[in-house]
Amino acid sequence: MSQARDTRSSGTGPSARIGYTRVSTVSQTLDQQNAALEAAGVTKTFSDTMSGARDDRPGLAALMECVREGDTVVVWKLDRLGRNTLHILETVKALTERGVTLVSVTDGIDSSTPAGRLMIGVLGSLAEYERELIKERTALKRQASRANGTKFGRPRRVEDPVHIATAKRMKADGHTSKDIAKYLGVSRATLYRYLADDAAA
Strands 2-6 vs 44-49: parallel, antiparallel or unpaired: antiparallel
List the catalytic residue out of 24, 51, 112, 145: 24
Sheet strands (E) in 43-177: 44-49, 72-75, 101-104, 109-110
CB-hemisphere CA count at 13 Å for 45?
24
CA nearest to 120, candidates 144, 142, 151, 95 = 95
Asked if 85 contacts 128 with a C-beta cutoff of 8 angstroms, the reply is: no
Is 24 an active-site residue? yes
Return contacts of 62-68, CB within 8 angstroms, 24+ apart.
Answer: 62/2, 62/4, 63/18, 63/20, 64/94, 64/95, 66/12, 66/18, 67/16, 67/18, 67/95, 67/98, 67/100, 68/12, 68/14, 68/16, 68/98, 68/100
- Residues annotated as catalytic are 24
